[in-house]
Structure 1
Amino acid sequence: MLRYIIPRKKGSFVIAAFLTVAFFCIVIYHRNDRRRAKFQFPDIEKYAEELVRLPEAWNGELHRIPDYSQPREGPGEKGKPVVLPGKEAELGHADMKKWFMNVHASDKISLDRDVPDPRIQACKDIKYDYTTLPKTSVIIIFTDEAWTPLLRTVHSVINRSPPELLQEIILLDDNSKRQELQEPLDEHIKRFGGKVRLIRKHVRHGLIRAKLAGAREAIGDIIVFLDSHCEANHGWLEPIVQRISDERTAIVCPMIDSISDSTLAYHGDWSLSVGGFSWALHFTWEGLPEEELKRRTKATDYIRSPTMAGGLLAANREYFFEVGGYDEEMDIWGGENLEISFRNWMCGGSIEFIPCSHVGHIFRAGHPYNMTGRNNNKDVHGTNSKRLAEVWMDDYKRLYYMHREDLRTKDVGDLTARHELRKRLNCKSFKWFLDNIAKGKFIMDEDVLAYGALHTVVSGTRMCTDTLQRDEKMSQLLGVFHCQGKGSSPQLMSLSKEGYLRRENTCAAEENGNVRMKACSKRAQFNERWAYEKQMLRNLKSGNCLSTANLKAGDDAIVVECDENDAHQKWNFVDPAKAD
């Protein structure tokens, strides 16, 4: 038995001090314990298997942060491309099919490589008081990720984050099967001296629910989610932490730099954009609105954005759960980024981009892992998006169903908890979001001269204008096809009050006797304006009219000399709700 010998004269003082310290230790312990318990997301345990925390003992040399002020040599340094020669190039091509990235090129690059710093000098000049800023948990979800892209993500966070601000990195393994992600990974992370925690799941959760589980395990006041194929850039963390410290309800994103999937070249970017969305509920990039340009007084100011891409974001940990975390009934990946964007704006928060924070991301053309959800659901984006539409979009969900009529009656699970969340948080309407945040978003069936499936009827045959499934992100000719009924999305058109014959983001312009759909612009040319008179659509520049004369399904639409007696030039807009 240990005995403590205390001088009699100072005994009372020492005992009192000891008891005081012990009391505060107990209070802090229970406070943290309550804090963790309070914000556990409801019902997430029904998806959980054992979470394994690996031992941190390490007899080897600890990781040393490189001195990036010194010149470095080697493949990929300073973000330069890695071009493989001869047979190695063939292996790289094979990687692109398997991994949707060139793993052979990645394997030649140091895990600690340096990357170009795209920040402007004003960002570099900002001084941060680390003693007043909260600590951060960086959460990285992975499932069967390639070795070097995953570890380069971890190394970049360790190397370029102030130790005073980095509480921990949580590596959450969503049921990986590859052998190098088992014991070799266990051993590799020990060199970080306990800074990296590896949590393994024995049942696949999918990205959305895995993020929730990681956030519940975090102990930092701020949580940052990163994809498992990123590289944190110089000074990336400080401006994120500062902004969330200043504004608790802001969910913020770094500027996302591009890392080539084929050469791993790092392309820093200072062009400023905001997130948007299509009515099919896909994320889009939009130009910086004029109103936001005027609001910002400095190039270093945060940027308010209607939506975010979703892979890279940061939030106050307690606030993240207060505002609803993620919808735990969403499956795997897709739609959760728009859901949290709409929700945070409508419920009193904001979505913001931080121009002084940069993180590189490998943009892949596909997913190297299984994207099938529960009950063999192969359309997780569709079903997730329906949950979003039903809870947050009010009557505007009709615009989603114009694209996904097949999902209108599909059961996507119980929505009660999410409806109750919206009511409890006293959130605003989706119309408020459109009027105040996503200003200028074109609504095809509101405040227009005409809307619907645009068609002619000749000898009993109906022919509609049609995108012919051409990529609407690029300038394309407008086609014609047999009318499909039920408001088939590729056949829907609007005629705006300004005379633009248009779809959601593209406007029709006469071009060499055809009709070209291209991005709408406030500085549109006169050949993009149309008059709708006597059922005829006349181009204001040429005076010619839209026609289906001598066309068959799949042909490009034409513009010819107007003839009010020609049935091929008689057009009607049919309400999709009434189409058959």
Structure 2
Amino acid sequence: GEQGKPVTVNKESLDKEERKKFDDGWQKNAYNQYISDMMSLHRSLPDVRDEECKSEEYRSELPDTSVVICFHNEAWTVLLRTVHSVLDRSPKHLIKEIILVDDFSDMDHLKSALEDYMEKLGKVKIVRAKKREGLIRARLLGFAAATADTVTFLDSHCECTKGWLEPLLDRIAANRSNVVCPVIDVIEDDSFKYQYGSAKATSIGGFDWNMQFSWHAIPEYERKRRSKDIAPLRSPTMAGGLFTIHREYFEHLGTYDPGMDIWGGENLELSFRVWMCGGTLEIIPCSHVGHIFRKRSPYKWRTGVNVVKKNSVRLAEVWMDEYKDYYYERFNHDLGEFGDVSARKELRKNLKCKSFDWFVKNVYPDLFVPGESICSGEIRNKAKPMCIDSPSDHHSYHKPVNMWPCHAQGGNQYWMMSKNNEIRRDDGCLDYSGGENVIIYPCHGQRGNQEWQYREDNTVFHVNTQKCAEVSVDGKKLMVRPCTGVDRQIWKWKRKAQKS
């Protein structure tokens, strides 16, 4: 895997014992541990920065950092490679310490063997949780042990690249209320290939009204604001795993909400808080850190609570003002138990933070705001108790939209008619090009195949083809057919009162 090249092993060519090792590695980690174990702990990576980055000058006096890495049952070689990449590719005087936070791992290699190994490296402290805390509280444990000017949070399956740290610290030296993220490159889960792109192709963070983080291309207004492609990028939100923040500023901002559980939502909460309370959130194109992206979580949680929802409701209650209803509409305002948020509301008051409306208009003006929609909710057919049902995320693009029994839970049956006459949820639109199926396609705002009307007679009319949406006789398929006014073409959809 030297120079970030992929490693491939043909599992079929392994003997029985090795094949078991190979399978166990995947099972325990949701990435290919067998391959990681074959690679050097100091594997070389290419210099992935843009040419211009290599000649950038940074301040000679930079603040130092405490690197906090939380882990739970991480594979030995992956955890060690993360630590070595920090030590090998950062100027010594800028790394005050690395704090490994063990979130109650039970694998043997993470006990005394890890302590013995880290002791030899110096600079590495291990903090151990007394019970399973989850990422948010584990990070707070690590933060409490940090002593440097800044704190850098990394995940335990990362590889830092050449020149990753200085551009981050330089932004904090410029202004301690800058919160900065590296570009997160993909380390492939199966081959450990290191993938990277140019500064021009950097994505920035957004979110949708399910309170899910999403990546976006750099918008036009942000391209215009910057003089060059490698300049820091303002980002409405952060992915959450990797960032650097001034230690005292993090404290001043109220660290993380300790009432949030495990993980999920904390990245959006911190993003909103940084922007609304006077800080700036940036992605730094000259700083690259690789991260293994897994397709599933290998960890077990004994919990019946939907923690991501609980955390997201906490953030909506505290930070989103009247906009929180767009999120709550998605699950019919069934908030569930979310604990006491009075201390966080008090924090917002004391920090004299701006409104969420200010955030949307000034920091994320290209966010689709449902309040401007003409209809919202389920689209229910008159002939059958069936609703238009489809996920709308990027995994669903180009897939046919189907019918499903109406469940009144919102979710994949929640649709909005935008003022541009799109039927949409977040960035996915119903699109019909005249073929067999209506599909989900990224909203493009050009009308065309995405222009629909919900008419007075309760038909859903496709303007381009001058036809009507119809449910199939068996109730399972959504079709577009010549308008005849039969019950299978009549739909019930909640119209919103329009502000004049």
How high is the TM-score relative to the length of structure 1? Answer: 0.80
Cα distance, 1:537–1:103 mapped onto 2, change above 3 Å: same
Cα distance, 1:314–1:469 mapped onto 2, change above 3 Å: closer
C-alpha distance in 1 between matches for 2:362 and 2:247: 27
1:214 aligns with 2:112: no
CA drift of 1:324 comes to 1.0
SS in 2 for 1:390: helix
1:450 aligns with 2:375: yes
Give the match for residue 106 of structure 2.
177
Cα distance, 1:470–1:211 mapped onto 2, change above 3 Å: closer
1:497 aligns with 2:422: no
Cα distance, 1:434–1:462 mapped onto 2, change above 3 Å: same
Give the match for residue 7 of structure 2.
82
1:531 aligns with 2:460: no
Contact kept, 8 Å, 1:402 with 1:489, in 2: the verdict is no
User: Which of these residues, 302, 314, 326, is aligned with residue 399 of structure 1?
Assistant: 326
What are the Cα deviations for residues 12-57 of structure 1, in whole angstroms up to 9, with x where unaligned?
Answer: xxxxxxxxxxxxxxxxxxxxxxxxxxxxxxxxxxxxxxxxxxxxxx
CA drift of 1:168 comes to 1.1
What are the Cα deviations for residues 198-229 of structure 1, in whole angstroms up to 9, with x where unaligned?
Answer: 22232222211111121121111010000001
1:477 aligns with 2:477: no
SS in 1 for 2:312: helix
Contact kept, 8 Å, 2:59 with 2:170, in 1: the verdict is no
1:322 aligns with 2:247: no
C-alpha distance in 1 between matches for 2:6 and 2:191: 5
* 2:381 alignment partner AA: T
* 1:217 alignment partner AA: A
Contact kept, 8 Å, 2:386 with 2:405, in 1: the verdict is yes
C-alpha distance in 1 between matches for 2:262 and 2:160: 25
SS in 2 for 1:356: strand
User: Which of these residues, 281, 290, 293, is aligned with residue 360 of structure 1?
Assistant: 290
CA drift of 1:474 comes to 2.6
Cα distance, 1:310–1:470 mapped onto 2, change above 3 Å: closer
1:544 aligns with 2:461: no
Taking only aligned residues, the RMSD between alpha carbons, in angstroms, comes to 2.1
Any residues of structure 2 matched to 1:8-407 within 5 Å, and which? Answer: 76-85=1-10, 86-87=13-14, 88=18, 91-130=21-60, 132-192=61-121, 194-270=122-198, 271-372=201-302, 376-405=303-332, 407=334
Contact kept, 8 Å, 2:185 with 2:290, in 1: the verdict is yes
CA drift of 1:422 comes to 0.6
Contact kept, 8 Å, 2:186 with 2:194, in 1: the verdict is yes
Contact kept, 8 Å, 1:468 with 1:481, in 2: the verdict is no
C-alpha distance in 2 between matches for 1:92 and 1:290: 46
Cα distance, 1:366–1:472 mapped onto 2, change above 3 Å: closer
Percent of aligned pairs sharing the same letter: 42
Give the match for residue 428 of structure 1.
354
Contact kept, 8 Å, 2:422 with 2:447, in 1: the verdict is no
Moved more, 417-426 or 259-268: 259-268
Contact kept, 8 Å, 2:392 with 2:429, in 1: the verdict is no
Contact kept, 8 Å, 1:371 with 1:378, in 2: the verdict is no
CA drift of 1:127 comes to 2.5
C-alpha distance in 2 between matches for 1:489 and 1:141: 32
C-alpha distance in 2 between matches for 1:143 and 1:496: 44
C-alpha distance in 1 between matches for 2:246 and 2:391: 45
Contact kept, 8 Å, 1:332 with 1:371, in 2: the verdict is no
Give the match for residue 390 of structure 2.
467
C-alpha distance in 2 between matches for 1:246 and 1:222: 13
Q: Which runs of 5+ in 2 are unaligned?
A: none
C-alpha distance in 2 between matches for 1:305 and 1:572: 39
Q: Which has the larger radius of gyration?
A: 1
Contact kept, 8 Å, 2:420 with 2:447, in 1: the verdict is no
SS in 1 for 2:99: strand
C-alpha distance in 1 between matches for 2:181 and 2:19: 35
Contact kept, 8 Å, 1:117 with 1:268, in 2: the verdict is no
CA drift of 1:108 comes to 0.8
* 1:482 alignment partner AA: P
Contact kept, 8 Å, 2:373 with 2:496, in 1: the verdict is no
Cα distance, 1:544–1:474 mapped onto 2, change above 3 Å: same
C-alpha distance in 1 between matches for 2:181 and 2:392: 33
CA drift of 1:333 comes to 1.2
Contact kept, 8 Å, 2:375 with 2:496, in 1: the verdict is no
Contact kept, 8 Å, 1:272 with 1:288, in 2: the verdict is yes
Cα distance, 1:171–1:535 mapped onto 2, change above 3 Å: same
C-alpha distance in 1 between matches for 2:436 and 2:297: 41
C-alpha distance in 1 between matches for 2:228 and 2:209: 33
C-alpha distance in 2 between matches for 1:382 and 1:345: 22
* 2:348 alignment partner AA: R
How high is the TM-score relative to the length of structure 2? Answer: 0.93
C-alpha distance in 2 between matches for 1:469 and 1:351: 27
Cα distance, 1:405–1:485 mapped onto 2, change above 3 Å: closer
